[in-house]
Structure 1
Amino acid sequence: MKEKSLLCLLWCVLFLSDLSKAQTARNAIIFADVPDMAMIRVGDSYYMSSTTMHMSPGLPIMKSKDLVNWQLVSYAYDTLANMDALNLTNGKSTYGRGSWASSFRYHNGLFYVTTFAQTTGKTYIFTTKNIEKGPWEMSSFSPSYHDHTLFFDDDGKVYLIYGAGKIKMVELEADVSAVKKGSVEQIIIENASLPSGTGGGLPAEGSQLFKVNGKYYLFNINWPKGGMRTVVVHRADKITGPYEGRVGLQDLGVAQGGLIDTPDGKWYAYLFRDYGAVGRIPYLVPVTWKDGWPVLGNEGKVPEILDLPASKGLMPGIVASDDFSRKMGEPTLPLVWQWNHNPDNQLWSVTERKGFLRLKTGKIDTSFVSARNTLTQRTIGPESSASTLVDISKMKEGDMAGLGLLQKKYGFAGIKRGKGKSSIVMVRSLTGKAEEIESLPLAQNKVYLKAECDFKDKKDTASFFYSLDGKSWLPIGKPLKMSYTIPHFMGYRFGLFNYATKNIGGYADFDFFRVEDKIEKRN
């Protein structure tokens, strides 16, 4: 009897422990590509900006009430600039560039989100009074200040702190519209990498500056040679220094970000981790204070469990299905969608055929990555799948349309329109050259396509399928070994596309896009 009671007690303890874990957050808080976060709290609401580089609209803004469950609420810009590299025209692109790490502030009733772009050579300042509804106002100036942090000091002065290895500072005009006339660039830290060692590696960058209890705290990321990505923290009594530094965190390669506090006085560091093909995924790390320094993690380790509410999932806040039906007053495209580079708005529509996304061809292209008007959403981990139904009846000879996974080493399932015939194809590019892995004859004008992604334990494998009736799915081609490449510098994205290789003027109609956070179990 006593043994049964002990077993019952043990079972209750284990059950309650599992239940407790299920009701709390787990790292990573977002299993999707949301890198270079900058975060603020206004009242009881948190806002976060991130990097999406060559995507349009750009500089996404997310909102949360608990630091765990996030929803896209805005973008700072529709398009960054009108030029060949951003338009995917004349053989140019801005893969891996576009706009990079942003800075986020709330000051005197205005939201400020700033970024910089190698593509244009400029620094951009975006402001709004209403972060969810806008409008956003933009100002820009040269040069492009690398990985800068915008900072409003208590004396009314405004600064940008920026650089890699050697951290510099420049003062801005009070309205943040330009570098202050007569301002001289200052070096505030000669070598920000020193706290983590002197032996080479990537220099400290990703500056984010905070002021807590009268002291300045500068967060940077660096990658010591032979080591892992590391959080480096510097502290000073004056913004100009001198700064003393130390390693803030060195675990799992979780790094780059800054500090956020909660209304009840808790502190966290928001950081990200490189996680293979799905991209750079956000983590939260608890912070305590000791001797005037932020202490990150639990005894220097990134915890799996957080004392925060559990995640409700990434759908529909980060990714979402779309049937392309629009009611009066609804946005033409929900915020979960971004175009690969700037779109040509004359060549797509969700109104010309009710309940369909129409993608038209307007130029001759050579490949999936050179095609304009590819509409994308993030893939998510640990598993995700997307499917669509495409009507090919108005495609022209040489047209290619379908569902792809976008990165340099891409793959897709699509329909190739030939002369008087069509075929379902699976294409992948692992070496920079597209290979048609399998081609099957198609005798109808509608076909269902699906892509499945397995990111568990960095397996990073995708498979493609087709269906003629939407019920029975058949594999096509070979698995795609997904790989995060620096030339594209972005996690894989699902993409709906249509491009011409011979004749312009055709179009493909997509009936829906369905995304799920699971893949079908197969033998």
Structure 2
Amino acid sequence: MKSKLIVILLLVYHVSLTAQTEGARNPLIFADVPDMSMVRVGDTYYMSSTTMHMNPGVPIMKSKDLSNWEIVNYAYDTLGNADDLNLENGKSYYGKGSWASCIRYHKGLFYVSTFAGNTGKTYIYTTKNIEKGPWTVHSFKPSYHDHSIFYEDDGRIFMIYGGNKLHLVELKSDLSGVIEGTDRVLIENASAPAGLNMLLGAEGSQLFKHDGKYYLFNICWPRGGMRTVVVHRADKVTGPYDEGRLAFQDRGIAQGGIIDTPDGRWFAYLFRDNGAVGRIPYLVPMKWEDGWPIIGINGKAPDTLDLPASKGLIPTIIASDEFKRKKGDRVLPLVWQWNHNPDNSLWSLNERKGYLRLTSGRVVSGFEQAKNTLTQRTFGPVCSGYVCLDVRHMKEGDFAGLGLLQSKFGQIGVQVKDGRKMIKQINVASLGGRNGNNRFEEDSIPLERDKIYLKAECDFRNRKDVARFFYSYDGKGWKHFGSELKMQYTLAHFMGYRFALFNYSTKVAGGYADFDFFRVSDQISKW
């Protein structure tokens, strides 16, 4: 007995020691955090990313070690007020909204910029306190695609933008727009270092200064190849950028920039298209050699990094929510984002304490037109989320529950049909053409109770990209229900799959559903 105890203690010690000595691993964040831009202020790193049609928008993440990140703020609550932003009159801005952002710090002020094709504007948000705000917004036309802001030593502000043919403009000191007459071509063909036959021309500009020289990072996609990092170098911010190199080409890990640590190490931050979970960040060691950045270990992104081990994405990037709030708590934790602009009169955490109430305010045709759908990222390699739902006050035609949101979405919930409550599961089995005639698979059975537990499980291992749905009457014994969802990343939404809490009406508005909690896990059942 004593010998067995010693063995057990040794195993525990070994596991503990391994956990302490094991470093960070790639991917850095196994969730949809694309188009990253980073800045270091002292010993603290800040990162912005893209969430397009989700609000609040342009998430700001913070780290002390480059390995463990948490969401600390957003640059804006909403981009504006228009039919497409509000999901009104059949309009939407799926896959649009704010795209690749740029984060910078200059003389005590943080700058976070982005652009939106659907509004036709460029936005620059400024604040002295990036974690608490407040933010000042500056917006102007046109929408400068994939731009990079750069503050020169003399105080002049430049912006590089465009695709393949890259342009340079100078901004007004008050950030109200571009100085007239300053727009000019900076690089005629920025993809050239990677070849001449491109599927995607150079874009995603990020500009940095190191040892007196200027380095412009872009990505491109050669035909028959993969997403590739190219770098151009110049002696002045205005160019010429005659020197260019193919800087990194490994598994399509590309688009981003570079960051240094207080102790002098350098890393490239990039992302990889990883199927249905989305575009996931990688961190790649780099060094300077003959005045050029050398990215990777023998040209590859390593699986392990000489950084502290990750503590996981829960609860800093994704989190459970019991919907109970203490005085001083945020109404909604930062892990949540609404699909499009919310209608704040139709959701509440106060009407029934400890519950999220979603009320239908209009009749819609389906999930993608539903207002007040509340979302969080899914994550890999596997994940699950489940809710407890009170359906007593739903009306005819209402459908409420838990979804996996993308263009090929899946849902499990309760629908009121002909006065009866039904457990219903829907998958988009294939995408329709321009008229949106998607093919659906669905299943339903009667529900004789007022409360039900609903769960979605996702398997992203080796890009398997499948999900299954379950229901339970006690939250313990789960029954698989409906068909398996074949998840697919589509450009229509341009985003990884999201857990989504929804309630909408197809017949008459005014019904509501109460969510007792949302709980998330990095485990799934054995399929």
- TM-score w.r.t. the length of structure 2 is 0.95
Q: CA deviation at 1:155?
A: 1.7
Aligned pair 1:147/2:146, yes or no?
yes
> Residue by residue, what CA displacement relative to the aligned partner does 1:393-414 show, whole Å, maximum 9, x if unpaired?
0000000000000000000101
Match of 2:505 in 1: 500
- For the residues of structure 1 that align with 2:226 and 2:457, how far apart are their CA atoms? 31
What do residues 222-253 of structure 1 show as CA deviations (whole Å, max 9, x unaligned)?
Answer: 00011000000100001121211101100010
CA RMSD of aligned residues (A): 1.6
CA drift at 1:21? 9.1
> What displacement does 1:72 show?
0.3
Q: Which residue of 2 aligns with 1:251?
A: 250
User: What residue number does 2:401 align with?
Assistant: 402
- Corresponding residue SS for 1:143: coil
Corresponding residue SS for 2:216: strand
Structure 2 distance, partners of 1:20, 1:322, is 28
Q: What's the CA shift for 1:120? A: 0.2
Structure 1 residue aligned with 2:481: 476
After TM superposition, list the pairs within 5 Å mapping 1:325-344 onto structure 2.
325-344=324-343
> Would the aligned equivalents of 2:68 and 2:310 in 1 still touch at CA under 8 Å?
yes
Give the Cα separation in 1 of the matches to 2:272 and 2:37.
15
- Local SS of the residue matching 1:335: coil
Residue in 2 that maps onto 1:456: 461
Residues 321-376 of structure 1: CA deviation (Å, up to 9, x unaligned): 00001111111100000000100111100111000000000111111111110000
CA distance in 1, matches of 2:356, 2:125: 31
Secondary structure, aligned partner of 2:80? coil
Q: Work out the CA distance in 1 between the residues paired with 2:35 and 2:292.
A: 23
Instruction: Tell me the alpha carbon deviations over residues 291-343 of structure 1, each in whole angstroms, 9 at most, x when there is no partner.
Output: 00000001111111100000000011000000001111111100000000100
Q: Report what 1:8 is aligned to.
A: none
Deviation at 1:418, TM superposition (A): 1.7
Cα shift at 1:60 = 0.3
3-state SS of 1:86 partner: helix
Distance 2:43 2:471 in 1: 46
Structure 2 residue corresponding to 1:233, chosen from 222, 225, 231: 231
1:136 aligns with 2:135: yes
Alignment of structure 1 residues 21-36 onto 2, 5 Å: 23-36=22-35
Q: Is the 8 A contact 1:161 1:167 kept in 2?
A: yes
Aligned to 1:287: 286
Displacement of 1:386 after TM fit? 0.2
The separation in 2 between residues aligned to 1:55 and 1:147, in whole angstroms, is 19
How far apart are 1:100 and its partner, in Å?
Answer: 0.1
Q: Secondary structure at the match of 2:70?
A: strand
Which residue is equivalent to 1:220? 218
Deviation at 1:184, TM superposition (A): 2.2
Q: In the alignment, which residue of structure 2 is the partner of 1:183?
A: 181
Match of 1:6 in 2: none
Distance 2:194 2:441 in 1: 47
Contact 2:377 2:496 in 1 (8 A): yes
Partner of 2:42: 43
Query: Secondary structure at 2:190's aligned position in 1?
Result: coil
How much has 1:93 moved relative to structure 2? 0.5
- Does residue 209 of structure 2 align to residue 203 of structure 1? no
Q: In structure 2, what is the Cα distance between the partners aligned to 1:130 and 1:199?
A: 45
Matched, 1:194 2:192: yes
Distance 1:273 1:183 in 2: 37
**Residue 431 (structure 1) aligns with:** 430
Deviation sequence 1:453-501 (CA, Å, 0-9, x none): 0000000000000001211100110110100001110000000000000
Distance 1:292 1:20, change over 3 A: farther
Check whether the contact 1:460–1:481 (CA below 8 A) recurs between aligned residues.
Answer: yes
For residue 442 of structure 1, what is the aligned residue in structure 2?
Answer: 447
Measure the CA separation in 1 of the matches of 2:182 and 2:300: 40
Contact 2:150 2:158 in 1 (8 A): yes
Contact 2:441 2:483 in 1 (8 A): no
SS at structure 1 position matched to 2:307: strand
Question: In the alignment, residue 238 of structure 1 is paired with which amino acid?
Answer: K
| Residue identity (%) | 64
Matched AA of 1:374:
T
The whole-number CA distance in structure 2 between the counterparts of 1:509 and 1:419 is 21
Which structure 1 residue ranges, 4+ long, deviate > 6 Å from structure 2? none
Give the aligned partner of residue 525 of structure 2.
520
- Kept in 1: contact 2:257–2:269 (CA 8 A): yes
**1:274-293 residue CA offsets vs partner (Å, 9 max, x unmatched):** 00000000000001110000
Aligned residues of 2:271 and 2:282 also touching (Cα < 8 A): yes
CA distance in 1, matches of 2:266, 2:409: 40
* TM-score, structure 1 normalization: 0.95
Alpha-carbon distance, 1:450 to partner: 0.1
Q: CA deviation at 1:430?
A: 2.7
User: Aligned partners of 1:93, 1:383: CA distance in 2, in Å?
Assistant: 30
Aligned to 2:121: 122
Query: Cα–Cα, structure 1 residues 434 and 394, in superposed 2: closer, same or farther, change >3 Å?
Result: farther
SS across alignment from 2:306: strand
Superposed displacement of residue 178, structure 1 = 1.5
**Match status 1:61 vs 2:60:** yes
Distance 1:444 1:84 in 2: 38
Distance 1:336 1:272 in 2: 20
1:268 corresponds in structure 2 to 267
Please list, as runs of the form range in 1=range in 2, the aligned pairs for 1:54-133 lying within 5 A after superposition.
54-133=53-132
Specify the alignment match of 1:362 in structure 2.
361
| One-letter identity of the residue aligned with 1:448 | Y
Q: Return the offset for 1:434.
A: 5.6
The residue that corresponds to 2:6 in the other structure is none
Contact 2:99 2:116 survives alignment (8 Å) = yes
Structure 1 stretches lacking a partner, 5+ long: 1-10
Aligned AA (1:23)? E
Name the amino acid aligned to 1:118. G
- Residues 170-228 of structure 1: per-residue CA shift (max 9 Å, x gap): 00012323212x33211111000000000131000000000001000000010001100
Match of 2:434 in 1: none
CA contact (8 A) 1:367 1:434 kept: no
Asked if the contact 2:429–2:441 (Cα under 8 Å) also holds between the matched residues in 1, the reply is: no
Q: Say if 1:425 and 1:436, in contact at 8 Å, map to a contact too.
A: no
Contact 2:296 2:302 in 1 (8 A): yes
Residues 20, 451 of structure 1: CA spacing in aligned structure 2 closer, same or farther, 3 A cutoff?
closer
Deviation per residue, 1:68-121 (Å, 9 max, x gap): 100000000000010111111110010110000001100111000000000100
- Cross-structure match for 2:4: none
In structure 2, how many angstroms separate the alpha carbons of the residues matched to 1:210 and 1:177? Answer: 23
Q: What are the equivalent positions in structure 2 for 1:305-316 lying under 5 Å apart? A: 305-316=304-315
Task: Give unpaired runs (5+ residues) of structure 2.
Answer: 1-9, 432-437
Per the TM alignment, residue 520 of structure 1 is displaced from its structure 2 partner at its CA by: 1.5
- Equivalent AA in structure 2 for residue 489 of structure 1: F
1:34 & 1:53 partners in 2: Cα distance? 11
